[in-house]
Structure 1
């Protein structure tokens, strides 16, 4: 059975078929635990390379953050470009950025090549600023990312909140859950096998033949990949200790195309520059508004967070006061302390690909691709992520620190907006 939370994405599935539970013993060249974007892009690369792949998920394909996020696909990482350069150097940082850009193209090509039903890719992302000098953005602008002043912004939205911005023409947005299910179908067409509602309860990772066990079956394989994210449990303690499960929140409006047109006249996705940012876009052919934001380090009251999201929405677009919220949901993302993807080796022929919180979906595409290339012997580009390993995330103290940092950033955002308003 399908086991998705009640979201806009789960209510607009293009493909509702179910996949079997794992029963009995089977053999494969590689078994992947986790059927989110990272696991499925790895599986797709391996299947295209001729490997026999098995993917196991405790719920349904894309149950976690992969299937309920904002749907943004753009280059860059959660860590800032300056922080990456400081840690790895200018040349290495440029190579990582090139991988990030490639991840955008991989996602775009995959959707187009597979003609994924319901993926609904829409080009363009507006990156708007609520403070800071125009010169800072003008320096970032380029041929594919022109600078926008307030007049240019006014051609897209009706809001006095934003001062200037950039139009990211290489980025786009998608229906993530339909995209995931389309990738899963291609993995299966290539001979891969995907089992849902099959939580892994044990592993034997020693020796040349490794095994992964579920309640009713077992997979024996030469290689094992853990592609779990914010829902990582105690199965692999080292992975669990290395990620912070951070909750984020999304709401979707009732159908109200005429009302929405008084505020937003673009189909591009929109995000602001605050550290505690909002991100939103029109969906359902412009009939609904999907709005995301806020983070917490523990499950929060979704109705309460929804009121907070609505307050942010109305702060930018007071004309949307009559707009009703139809449903809201949350999801757990996996953050690393260094705010970069975690892709590497746990042991002999045992690998991990995780830590994609806050990056955008491009990093899952390139992360799974370079891991697949490594296992196929096609490249060693995975080494570019070697500086970002499984650093201890700090446990409960790390979660407290992360929440405190977020609150501090919210205060900084508020102060910077006040300063910008004073001119």
Structure 2
């Protein structure tokens, strides 16, 4: 039997219970994909649709990791800001990469519409809210993005913000009306079904234990199978193992936490009066949205390099929620969970080719819903010879993660962000 999904809002509301058999015997394919998250599934569906023979190996279940237990936010951008990208690739390169992230949003939207994935439950609107007065900077930045990229952004002054999010913490916000939030596990499982319909073979409970990647035909081995393929794509995220050493040394596994509240529509409405999702602008901030017709809150936040769960995830997150919305002091938690994301030190996705026929597509932490879509798409284009757009990410390659020092530095950086956020809020009181 395949392993179970962990207990989350998404696993409780999964639309189907499809399973896929473990890989067995000798298998020949054009393409072998390691990792059944959204990046791997996007690539599998596109390559299978183009007529390639595709085998996808997933160690657990389809969308078992971060792809199926995240906040469900789909919006343009990356985990790092446009100015940081500009410093690495220049102004024009940064704009091209940002437009790719916008395309990623549209790929997800298009899949939902064309494949009839009603169970993804897309809801329009994501608001970026500030806990301080930017003194015109937020409005100016949103106007600039409207002009340069055509984003559907609307500035919300303090009065309107506090009418939608009844919290004394927020000063202003920008509502991205072209972004949306959804059920990522249902979306991922629907992508898997479509990939299989197009001819791909998906195998769950099929962890890769060894690989020979030097020959013209790459060979990967699971406990019960040997797969030979011309191309291999590693799309394994925060649960990446040691089969491709250069990949394992190039990412930081970062944990984040999410809770789901009890059913309490009146109490929820006393705090959050919009169907739009809310993204706290703090670098160490929260993200949350109402679900189940506005009767519950799905609240995420906190990041840590600690890969084991703290004693009480629910209490940690609930404290953040009640600090933001004191009127929710009586709102109880139904379930809480954690998951590992994959971050590179440069905070950009790692998308490219490490050697002929060996591809990687990972490090989507912090902005995975749009970037997994574009990552899987452009790797598939590269393999099929349709484009070389994956080369746009070459400046953000498999940089060493710093080992234990890298993890310590990441945790210290996060704590530094929290202190800086707090100081900025205090100055705005």
Is TM (by shorter chain) over 0.5?
yes
Counterpart-to-counterpart distance in 1, 2:423 and 2:257: 24
Deviations 1:109-145 (CA, angstroms, capped at 9, x unpaired)? 1111111142011000011000142411111224611
Counterpart-to-counterpart distance in 1, 2:285 and 2:47: 36
User: Greater CA deviation, 175-184 or 128-137?
Assistant: 128-137
Does residue 63 in structure 1 map to residue 71 in structure 2?
no
Deviations 1:25-79 (CA, angstroms, capped at 9, x unpaired)? 1111100000001111111121121111110000000111111111100001111
Q: Secondary structure at the match of 1:141?
A: helix
User: Greater CA deviation, 150-159 or 258-267?
Assistant: 150-159
Does residue 406 in structure 1 map to residue 414 in structure 2?
yes
Does residue 210 in structure 1 map to residue 218 in structure 2?
yes
* Contact 1:117 1:182 (C-alpha < 8 Å) held by counterparts: no
Q: Paired residues, what number?
A: 421
User: Greater CA deviation, 39-48 or 237-246?
Assistant: 39-48
Q: Secondary structure at the match of 1:313?
A: helix
Displacement after TM superposition at 1:2 (Å): 4.5
Counterpart-to-counterpart distance in 1, 2:118 and 2:104: 21
* Contact 1:134 1:164 (C-alpha < 8 Å) held by counterparts: no
Deviations 1:332-381 (CA, angstroms, capped at 9, x unpaired)? 00000110000111211110000101124101100110110111111111
* Contact 1:74 1:360 (C-alpha < 8 Å) held by counterparts: no
Equivalent residue for 1:252, pick from 252, 260, 280: 260
Does residue 136 in structure 1 map to residue 137 in structure 2?
yes
Using structure 2 for the length normalisation, give the TM-score: 0.96
Equivalent residue for 1:383, pick from 383, 387, 391: 391
Q: 1:258 to 1:362 in 2, by over 3 A?
A: same
Does residue 195 in structure 1 map to residue 167 in structure 2?
no
Instruction: Identify the residue that residue 37 of structure 2 maps to in structure 1.
Output: 36
Instruction: Identify the residue that residue 117 of structure 2 maps to in structure 1.
Output: 116
Counterpart-to-counterpart distance in 2, 1:414 and 1:307: 20
Instruction: Identify the residue that residue 149 of structure 2 maps to in structure 1.
Output: none
* Contact 1:55 1:194 (C-alpha < 8 Å) held by counterparts: yes
Q: Secondary structure at the match of 1:289?
A: strand
Deviations 1:301-334 (CA, angstroms, capped at 9, x unpaired)? 4453422211211112111111100111100000
Counterpart-to-counterpart distance in 2, 1:139 and 1:99: 23
Deviations 1:191-246 (CA, angstroms, capped at 9, x unpaired)? 00100001111111122211111000111111111111100111111100000000
Counterpart-to-counterpart distance in 2, 1:192 and 1:157: 45
Instruction: Identify the residue that residue 382 of structure 2 maps to in structure 1.
Output: 374
Displacement after TM superposition at 1:258 (Å): 1.4
Q: Secondary structure at the match of 2:45?
A: helix
* Contact 1:302 1:330 (C-alpha < 8 Å) held by counterparts: no
Does residue 167 in structure 1 map to residue 167 in structure 2?
no
User: Greater CA deviation, 137-146 or 39-48?
Assistant: 137-146
Displacement after TM superposition at 1:287 (Å): 1.7
Displacement after TM superposition at 1:300 (Å): 4.7
Where do 1:23-422 residues align within 5 Å?
Answer: 23-142=24-143, 144-421=152-429
Counterpart-to-counterpart distance in 1, 2:354 and 2:33: 14
Using structure 1 for the length normalisation, give the TM-score: 0.97
Structure 2: runs of 5 or more not aligned? 147-151
Q: Secondary structure at the match of 1:264?
A: coil
Deviations 1:373-423 (CA, angstroms, capped at 9, x unpaired)? 1111111111111111000000111001100111111111111111111xx
Counterpart-to-counterpart distance in 1, 2:309 and 2:51: 46
Displacement after TM superposition at 1:293 (Å): 0.3
Structure 1: runs of 5 or more not aligned? none
Displacement after TM superposition at 1:264 (Å): 0.9
